[in-house]
Structure formats: C-alpha cells, structure tokens
Chains A and B, each alone.
Chain A
C-alpha cells in the first residue's frame, strides 16, 4: 500500500529520471546483465586485433629489442651517468607502483567504507593494480647493471651463506612489492570467482575449460558465498596497510638516503598521496576507454565518473599540500644545496617540466573538477586524468633524475637526458600494460556482475506519491 502525502516531491537535479542516473536503481534481469558482460568479452573485432598487434610489436621492440640490447651491451646505452645514476627506469618504477595503488584504493577502501558507487568499477581497477605491478616489478630488473644476477636479492639458502642485506631499503622494497603482488592478485581473484563461474556456465570449448579451472568448482551455495564474503572482507582490510606500506617504502628508497632533496620524512605520505592521485586518475582514464570500446555504458555511468572526479580533486588538494610542505621546509632550511635544488626546479633545465607538472597536477584539476559537468563529461575527464598522470610522471622524473643532478660538491653536478633505449623500454612497458589489459579484458569479466546485482537488490525505488524515492537495505 502506498502512502499518499502532501509533502513536496523530491526534485532530482535537472529533472532526471533516477534510473538513468543510478545504476543501482536501474535493475535489469540477471541474464541481461550477464549477456552485456559476456558480449563485451567476446567482441574481438578489427580494432581489438589491430591494438593487440601494434602493442605486441611495441612490447617486442621495447622489452625484447631495447632491453636485450642493453643487457648485451651494458647499462651505458641508457642516458644515466655520473652523478645521475638513476634515470627513467626508477621513474617508471615509482610511477607504475603509483598506478598500482588505484585498484586497491578504489576497491578496498571504498569497499570497507561501503561506498556504493564502487560496485561496477572495482574489477577494472583491480586489474590495473595487477598489471601495473607486473610492469613496475620489471623495472628493478631492467635497471640492474647485471640483470642476470637479480636472484641474489632473494634470501635463498646457499653454500656460502650469503644473505641479502635487510638494512637496504631496496630489500624492504622487494619484500613489500612481493607481498603486494600476492595480496592484490588474490584480492583480484576472490571477487572474480562467481563471475568466472557465470562465464563457465555460459561458454563452451576452451573458454569453458579455462573458466572451469578458474572457478574452482564454484556452485553458489550459501556456504560458498559466506566464505567468499568473509575472505573478501579480510583481504579488503588487510590490503590497505600493505598498499600504504608499499609506496611508503618506495619513497624510503629516496628518503633513507643522505641526498639533499631526497632525505625527507614527508616522503612517505607524500608519495602515497601522489600514488593514489595518479592511480585514481588512471582508473578514470582506463574506465573511460573500456566503457567506450567495450560498450559498457549500462554499467559505467556518469555518476561513477562524477564520484571519481571528486576523489581526484580531493587528492589533488592533498598532493598540493604535501608538495608545498616539502618545498617550504627545504627552502626554509636554507641549506645551500637545498636552495640550489629549489632554484634548479624553477630555473634549471627541468623548469619547463616543472611548470607543466604544476599546471597538470594543480591548475587544471582545481579549475575544472569542481564543475559537475566536467566530471561527467567523457572527454573532459579523459583529458584531465591523462594530464594528471603526465604531471605525476614529471613529478617522479624530477625527484629521481632532477635531484640527482645537484649535490654537495658543485664540481660533480651533472645533467641527464634519457637515451633512445630508455624511451623504447618505457614505451614497451606501457605497451605491455595496455596489452595485458586488452587481452585480459577478453578473458576476465570487466564488471563484477554479482556485485552490481547485489547492489541493485539492496537498492530500490519506491514511489511515494508522484515522487520516486530511493531506498537502501543494509546488507550486513
């Protein structure tokens, strides 16, 4: 029985139908949802194959050709030199670790805080985490002078009782990244099981075999759901400190040194904030592409991008705070080299990049993202988020390669320009990330159907008089 009231009806912004706006209020039959996701997975047209071919080629050139050449000839083919011993490889490493924060942040934190807009976007961002980590994990190897000896960093028992040095931030780094890779892969995999099972039930041939293995015999019993949800909750809580630790430890690679500019206690939260800033932006970029190319407009709606846009703006504020905090303390400290580093950024060879960074990371987000229309506009948001990632890349580039150009002995200042090999490897790794994502998008349901459906069940529209009122049922 409906209750009639005289109260003024709830007015929706711009008189939209809430069903158009909100995914969770726009339920469709389960079969239809499944079909949208399955269609997206099966669609392999010309564009797909062209992308796969081009990306594979770039990966082959960058990681096969250029990296192979570097291993054969020596690190000298890169642009690094005395005293800039770290170059774009470490920049890329920090950047990709940053990107990898998106999945966990969007998925785990929003899950823990029960942010409902997360539901259709968790899978896509978790996949980013996994693949960004693959790429990031390659860079310490690419960067090694003797890549073929990388396993000496692994603490394995050996006859000569040689152990790695646990004092070294690089060791902490390796351990943190390993933990993060394992944790985030499991965290990607757990919510995937019901969807893989769904795919198994709707496929034949090799796909069926693959999904059967991946689904681990999921039948959807109540016990199974109970276990799964418990596991997901545990992981969601557990992965958050791991995520924070990873980028903090990456920042300690710099912060623990005695280099002026690097040696800073603020680097931990500064890097984490930057990582989330760039990661969430990357999520937006990727989801916009996914939505467009895979026809997932039903699942990925402006409301989601609106929410992501707000997040980006908040993290732009936070990043700016840390940035100036670091800058100001350095400047106020008054140490000669520190001052030199500051003028170096504003007037030196990296100055154009530095200003570009400020524009991309501060000016553009602040000037645009407060606007709801910008946040909901595909192209605008696409450009802004791409810009943020360029800005964040520059930030890492300046911190790694720029700060190394100045030190306490002015005789030994240096310059750095990336070489062709470094550029090719960077392009190759970016291509690898995209290739993995593109290929995986044809195997892994990009939207967690069961989560969306769960959300839709708990959300409903009630008609109160002429007004439509959304109603939410608490799950747990």
Chain B
C-alpha cells in the first residue's frame, strides 16, 4: 500500500497538528486529549445548511400518522405531516409536532441506571449496556418464568411484536398491554363490539368526509380518539363538500372541543349517550325509515327499547328525538360515531353496540360511512390485542401476592396513569426487580431498580400497521432521522440483545441480530402486493418504503361490516352505573383526555405545556370546569381552589366557570400532576387519573373511567389560572353587552 497524501490532506493535517499544538500549549493540563473535528467533514448524509427531509412515522399517539422530518446539519429541526401518507395527508397535530422536544428534552435518561440505595432514595449508579444486559440475562436465566411479567403500553407495532415473542420465549404469560390512552380510545370495547356484532375484532372506522349528517355520541374524534388527525381531515372535507355542508350534532354531558365544532350540542346526562342512540334507532324502525336491508329483523333488535322512558333519562323530549331521528334517517349519508367517551362507562359495550346498530339501520354499513379496518395483509403484521383493565387488575393482584419477581415496564407509566385505588404502587413494592425502559424519568422509572434508556422514535427504526386505517391499507415506516443523542437503545434492540445473551427458547423466538433485520423480515410479504410503489427485491423495497414513509395499497381496503350471529340479539338499554354515593358525591367527574398531552405522557414537553387548551385557553396547570350555576351554588368563582374528592382520593384544582358542561358534572383535564417527567412537568397541577374508581364495564373489562362520582368543596386560597383569554371580556361579549 502506498502512502498517498494529497495537498489538501497535508494542509488539513498540518493545520490540525498545529492547532493541536497551539491549543495544548495553552492549557495547563497537557495530559488532557484535545479532540478536533473539522466543520468541513460533516456526517456523510449532511451538507452544511442544506435541508433534508426524511419520512417516518409519528409515535406521539398510537394512530401512526406519517411524518417528514426536516434535517439540517445532522439535526432534525421540524416535523411535518407526510403529504403522501394516506392517513394524515400531510397534516400533523400539536402533539405530533412536539415530538421534536421528546428527542431534545434536556432531562432525558442518557445511560442505563441501576438503583444503589433502596427505593425511597433517589440514588443511581450508571452502568454500561453490556453490563445491564448481562446482569439481566443472568438473572432471568435462573428465574421461574412464571414469576416474570411484562407490562406495556399500546406499543409501536414492532416493539409489541418483539415483547410478545420475548415473553413467549421465556415460556410465560403474554405481556399486559394497557395504557390510559388505549382506555380513552376504548379499543377493548370497540373490538368487543365488533366481535359480537360482526364476528371480527376489527376496529370500526367512520368515513365522515361525504356524510351529510353526523351524530357524535360521546364525541371526541377531533381531539383524542384513535386517529384525530385523520378524523379532522375527514371532518374538514365534510364541512366543505361541493354544494353541501355536512351537519353535525354531538351528544354528551360536556361541550368538548369536538362538540364545540358541532352545529348542535345535546347535553345528555353522563353515560346515557348510548340510550339516546337506542331511542333514535327505535324511532327510525317504528316509523319505517330504516334501510338496513331485510336480513335483520330490526323490530326484534329494538324490542326492549322504550322511547318515552329514554327521553326522560336523556333529557331530550320525544318530539325532539323524533325530529333528530327523521333528520338522520332522511340523510343520504348519515354516520353515527361511538366516541371514546362512550366506552368509558360501565354500559360502554352496550352503548357502542347501540351506535353501531344505528349505523347499520340506515345503511351506513353497506356503502356508507361505517367501515371495519381490514386484517393486515400478512400474518407477520398481526398484533396482539389490547388487554382490558381486568387484566391489569389481575397483574396487580399477582404482584401484590408476591408472585412476580421481575417486572418489565415499557411504554406505560402505571404509577401515574392507573387509579390509585387499584394499589399498583403498593403492589410494586412486592416485586423484587423492576426494569423500566424510559426516555424521560417517569413516575414508574423512579421506583424501578433498573432503568434502561430508550431511543425516542426519531432515533430508531420501526413499522406500524395503521389500525384503525382509513381506506388504504397502510404499513407506515419509521426510521431514525438523527444519530442517537445519547447512549440509548431501542427497547426492541435491547430485547434482541437480551435474548442473544440467554440460551433456550428465547433466542429461538428472537433470532435476529438487530432491529432492522427483524423489521425487514416482517415486510417481505408486502413486496408481492400492489402498493404505492413497486420493488423487485428486498433492498429496493426497503429503500422505497423508507423514502415514501410506508407502503399502502392503491385501492381503498375497507371491510364493510356484515352482521354476524350476534347482531340479531335484542339491544339492551343498560343504564349507567356510577361509583360513589350520589348523596355524598353529587357530581359526575369527567376526566378530559387532553388534546394537548394525550393521556399525560407528553406533559414534559414545553411546547405542549404552553399550548393553550382549546376550550379554556389555559395552560401549565390543572383546572376544573364547573357550570356557572353550579359554581354559584358552591360559592366559588373563577380562580378559586376547590377540592375534588372521590372515594379513591382527592385532588385540588382551579375553578374555571365553563358554560358548556352540565350542572351535575365537573370536568378535569388529564395530563398534569406529574411527580417526574422532567423539569416542565413535575410538581405541576393535579393528576385526575389517580382518583378514578377502578370500576369496569363487566361486559368488556374496560375501565369505566367516566363513572366516578365526586364531591366538590371550596379549598383555601386562590390561584390564577394561566390562561390566554380575558375572562371578563369574553363574558362581556357573551352577554352581548359589547
């Protein structure tokens, strides 16, 4: 080999050498090495100040929108929606855009941490990944697999698959998949309803873009429900149709952000939205306006429904119900949406079924707006269903009994998001070894024994079969858009490494050397299918898949809902059931899943903390929305502090007089009240999730997170709510005195 030096190289090295000499000459400590990197040698994929766009998938909520990331000088600067992506068509919500701060958060966990004191102390020893994996592998090798448990959130698809395989490899129970967002979405209930009515667990999708009448029951589809950006897109289309404008009525006890966009809001009592849907259906059937086909005997379906009784319960006169029913039935394309708030009650499953039946009744199932998400194109892309709250209760009981030695937690923050009355935090004390994957220090990580620092989604690979999907069958691509900032790993990669360090079944289940390798095997089946691009070989497919931000079918791939065995059964008019004594606790507590924070996991991001809540324009704190009439009875005014007491505990919040809520209910936003999660979230506001009653819908096992009754009493002091609006001015405007 000849030693070849160009003039440029010579200049570079001599410049470097002389600078090194100069710099080292100036420092007292000559032993200290001086690292120099020239600005003319950037990483290969970057050019100085040139912007590059990389397509990826948003992981800020489970929807799976496509994003494109603007990268300049090796750092991602902005996230925007991927215009090609069929789900969000180039749009992105507030949460999605704030993903950047998840990556650049100054309080990120930067290396593996092992607890050095006991759990009451905040003392940690950093350790290397090799050591952490080695210790874990050694520990797991000798342990009884049944004493290992894995609790995850509704994970990104690839992680979910890897966790499932890992547990299978260990030969133990599958992971418990639960987080508050999944509960708010009502995934369990929706799947159960589909199962009972249409013989498939597929999630329903509602295409409202062509609809002329939309009824939202417990409507929150524009803010948090399943796929808010996709629904917002279709909502915009619905309003702006050529020659017509869709009409939207919302049923629910609180004027949510979604209901605020409605033409009409019907403030039904909490938990009765499903009954209203039943009554509407009954009227349509009775008046012979149904066009759901002859296959179903709709009369029999509605045989137990008493319109007069329901009219009284839902506080809508029969005349008005009839009017609404006729409007719905007369529409060319009516759609009824079973929002997430619907499944948050103990009668949730019945309510969702009632709404689904209402759709079928007017033919929304055939060529109309109600569809089912199709099965993934290959077995490799199926994912484990979400666990119900009942499964979490079972896990907690196992832990409390001392039946769990090692608990892995990934993508969930149970100490924060589970009702305190469940006793998860106490049960955790009986677990010997708690291993938590975390990007930010969460409340659960704080009580862990080992914290494994995780990549953010912008630093890692992945895929997501979009579920619920809107038309095109979509496998969204996720790729790193920056070099990892710290010594972190993708949890999936960590599990692969862990499996490789262990013998036995585990490594057979997880044979891949790394994440990319694993993901590529998942995608092979897609190459044969017609999609947004064609690729002859795996490498081309991989490149195109990443470049476009995913693969999706050319044609819409809806599955029309076909009535199954269970559809013929008479629908039950189940009244709501609340936790807490009605006399002692006179108010219904409505936790508001936050359009800004989701279930609270993003409260650490400053952009989101500062983003005003759409309805109150408040930020940075926790408030309670109270009807002005109720507030007057309670003797409280804006900015007063009140105590909200439930059977499971109490919180303090700032009073906000809210015109759009029933007088018998109070609403508190979810998301604040963190004890951890970095400098912007910790010690701020109150966590409403902690006081919820751990009551479930017995039919689906879903947490009835809207069924808690509370007492509201004036507390000492006042705290001005940090809000954008002038309360006074807006109120003056409302009273028309301006």
Do the two shown chains form a genuine complex with each other? yes
User: Judging by beta carbons under 8 Å apart, are A411 and B738 in contact?
Assistant: no
Q: In this assembly, does A413 line the interface, its C-beta being within 8 Å of a C-beta of chain B? A: yes
Q: In this assembly, does B3 line the interface, its C-beta being within 8 Å of a C-beta of chain A? A: no
Q: In this assembly, does A205 line the interface, its C-beta being within 8 Å of a C-beta of chain B? A: no
Residue of A whose beta carbon sits closest to that of B734: A410
Contacts of B733 in A (CB 8 A): 410-411
Q: How far is the CA of A413 from the CA of B724 in the complex (A)?
A: 10
User: Judging by beta carbons under 8 Å apart, are A340 and B726 in contact?
Assistant: no
User: Contact string, B485-522, partner A, CB cutoff 8 A, digits 1/0?
Assistant: 00000000000000000000000000000000000000
A327-344 residues at the B interface, CB under 8 angstroms = 336-337, 340
Label chain B's interface by main secondary structure.
helix
User: Judging by beta carbons under 8 Å apart, are B732 and A411 in contact?
Assistant: no
Q: In this assembly, does B730 line the interface, its C-beta being within 8 Å of a C-beta of chain A? A: yes
User: Judging by beta carbons under 8 Å apart, are B730 and A336 in contact?
Assistant: no
Contact of A414 among B726, B730, B732 (CB under 8 A): B726
Residue of A whose beta carbon sits closest to that of B724: A411
Q: In this assembly, does B729 line the interface, its C-beta being within 8 Å of a C-beta of chain A? A: yes
User: Judging by beta carbons under 8 Å apart, are A412 and B729 in contact?
Assistant: yes
B716-733 residues at the A interface, CB under 8 angstroms = 724-726, 728-730, 732-733
Min CB distance, B245 to chain A, in Å? Answer: 26
Q: How far is the CA of A337 from the CA of B726 in the complex (A)?
A: 15
Contacts of A410 in B (CB 8 A): 726, 728-730, 732-733, 738
Min CB distance, B617 to chain A, in Å? Answer: 8
Min CB distance, A372 to chain B, in Å? Answer: 48
User: Contact string, A405-416, partner B, CB cutoff 8 A, digits 1/0?
Assistant: 010011111100
Min CB distance, B719 to chain A, in Å? Answer: 16
B680-738 residues at the A interface, CB under 8 angstroms = 724-726, 728-730, 732-733, 738
Min CB distance, B712 to chain A, in Å? Answer: 27
Q: How far is the CA of A296 from the CA of B726 in the complex (A)?
A: 56
Q: How far is the CA of A217 from the CA of B728 in the complex (A)?
A: 67
Residue of B whose beta carbon sits closest to that of A82: B724
Q: How far is the CA of A412 from the CA of B725 in the complex (A)?
A: 6
Q: How far is the CA of A337 from the CA of B724 in the complex (A)?
A: 20
Contact of B730 among A337, A406, A411 (CB under 8 A): A411
Label chain A's interface by main secondary structure.
helix
How many positions in chain B have a CB within 8 Å of any CB in the partner chain? 9
Query: Which of B724, B725, B728 has the most chain A CB atoms closer than 10 A to its own CB?
Result: B728
User: Judging by beta carbons under 8 Å apart, are B738 and A337 in contact?
Assistant: yes
User: Contact string, B663-681, partner A, CB cutoff 8 A, digits 1/0?
Assistant: 0000000000000000000
Q: How far is the CA of A127 from the CA of B720 in the complex (A)?
A: 47
User: Judging by beta carbons under 8 Å apart, are A413 and B738 in contact?
Assistant: no
Contacts of A411 in B (CB 8 A): 724-726, 729-730, 733
Contacts of B728 in A (CB 8 A): 410, 413
Residue of B whose beta carbon sits closest to that of A405: B726
How many positions in chain A have a CB within 8 Å of any CB in the partner chain? 10
Residue of A whose beta carbon sits closest to that of B731: A410
Q: How far is the CA of A100 from the CA of B689 in the complex (A)?
A: 63
Q: How far is the CA of A380 from the CA of B724 in the complex (A)?
A: 48
User: Contact string, A440-465, partner B, CB cutoff 8 A, digits 1/0?
Assistant: 00000000000000000000000000
Residue of B whose beta carbon sits closest to that of A337: B738
Q: How far is the CA of A409 from the CA of B733 in the complex (A)?
A: 9
Min CB distance, A401 to chain B, in Å? Answer: 15
User: Judging by beta carbons under 8 Å apart, are A336 and B726 in contact?
Assistant: no
Q: How far is the CA of A39 from the CA of B728 in the complex (A)?
A: 61
Min CB distance, A333 to chain B, in Å? Answer: 15
Q: How far is the CA of A412 from the CA of B733 in the complex (A)?
A: 12
Residue of B whose beta carbon sits closest to that of A407: B729
Residue of A whose beta carbon sits closest to that of B728: A413
Min CB distance, A3 to chain B, in Å? Answer: 78
B159-181 residues at the A interface, CB under 8 angstroms = none
Min CB distance, B227 to chain A, in Å? Answer: 31
Residue of A whose beta carbon sits closest to that of B726: A413
A291-309 residues at the B interface, CB under 8 angstroms = none
Q: How far is the CA of A414 from the CA of B723 in the complex (A)?
A: 11
Min CB distance, B260 to chain A, in Å? Answer: 15
Contacts of B725 in A (CB 8 A): 411
Q: How far is the CA of A337 from the CA of B728 in the complex (A)?
A: 13
Min CB distance, A416 to chain B, in Å? Answer: 12
Q: How far is the CA of A406 from the CA of B733 in the complex (A)?
A: 13
Contacts of B738 in A (CB 8 A): 336-337, 340, 410
A411-426 residues at the B interface, CB under 8 angstroms = 411-414
Contacts of A340 in B (CB 8 A): 732, 738
Q: How far is the CA of A110 from the CA of B732 in the complex (A)?
A: 51
Min CB distance, A173 to chain B, in Å? Answer: 30
Residue of A whose beta carbon sits closest to that of B727: A413
Query: Which of A337, A410, A413 has the most chain B CB atoms closer than 10 A to its own CB?
Result: A410
Query: Which of A409, A412, A413 has the most chain B CB atoms closer than 10 A to its own CB?
Result: A413
Contacts of A413 in B (CB 8 A): 726, 728-729
Contacts of A412 in B (CB 8 A): 726, 729
Contacts of A337 in B (CB 8 A): 738
Q: How far is the CA of A471 from the CA of B732 in the complex (A)?
A: 68
A309-366 residues at the B interface, CB under 8 angstroms = 336-337, 340
Contacts of B724 in A (CB 8 A): 411
Q: How far is the CA of A144 from the CA of B13 in the complex (A)?
A: 51
Min CB distance, B714 to chain A, in Å? Answer: 24
Contacts of B729 in A (CB 8 A): 406, 409-413
Q: How far is the CA of A41 from the CA of B724 in the complex (A)?
A: 58
Q: How far is the CA of A337 from the CA of B738 in the complex (A)?
A: 7
Residue of B whose beta carbon sits closest to that of A410: B729
Q: How far is the CA of A152 from the CA of B730 in the complex (A)?
A: 40
Q: How far is the CA of A414 from the CA of B733 in the complex (A)?
A: 15
Q: How far is the CA of A142 from the CA of B395 in the complex (A)?
A: 64
Min CB distance, A357 to chain B, in Å? Answer: 22
Contacts of B726 in A (CB 8 A): 410-414
Min CB distance, A169 to chain B, in Å? Answer: 27
Q: How far is the CA of A340 from the CA of B738 in the complex (A)?
A: 8
Residue of A whose beta carbon sits closest to that of B732: A410
Q: How far is the CA of A336 from the CA of B738 in the complex (A)?
A: 5
Contacts of B732 in A (CB 8 A): 340, 410
Q: How far is the CA of A122 from the CA of B256 in the complex (A)?
A: 70
Q: How far is the CA of A406 from the CA of B729 in the complex (A)?
A: 8
Query: Which of B724, B726, B732, B733 has the most chain A CB atoms closer than 10 A to its own CB?
Result: B726
Query: Which of B725, B729, B730, B732 has the most chain A CB atoms closer than 10 A to its own CB?
Result: B729
Min CB distance, B60 to chain A, in Å? Answer: 29
Min CB distance, B77 to chain A, in Å? Answer: 26
In the assembled complex, 14 residue pairs joining A and B whose CB atoms fall closer than 8 Å, in A order, are A340-B732, A406-B729, A409-B729, A410-B726, A410-B728, A410-B729, A410-B732, A410-B733, A411-B726, A411-B729, A411-B730, A412-B729, A413-B726, A413-B728
Which 10 pairs from chain A and chain B are nearest by CB? A410-B729, A413-B726, A413-B729, A410-B733, A336-B738, A411-B725, A410-B732, A411-B730, A410-B738, A410-B730
Give chain A's interface residues, CB within 8 Å of chain B.
336-337, 340, 406, 409-414
Given contact pairs A406-B729, A411-B725, a sample of 10 additional A-B residue pairs in the complex whose CB atoms are under 8 Å apart? A336-B738, A409-B729, A410-B728, A410-B729, A411-B724, A411-B726, A411-B729, A411-B733, A412-B726, A412-B729
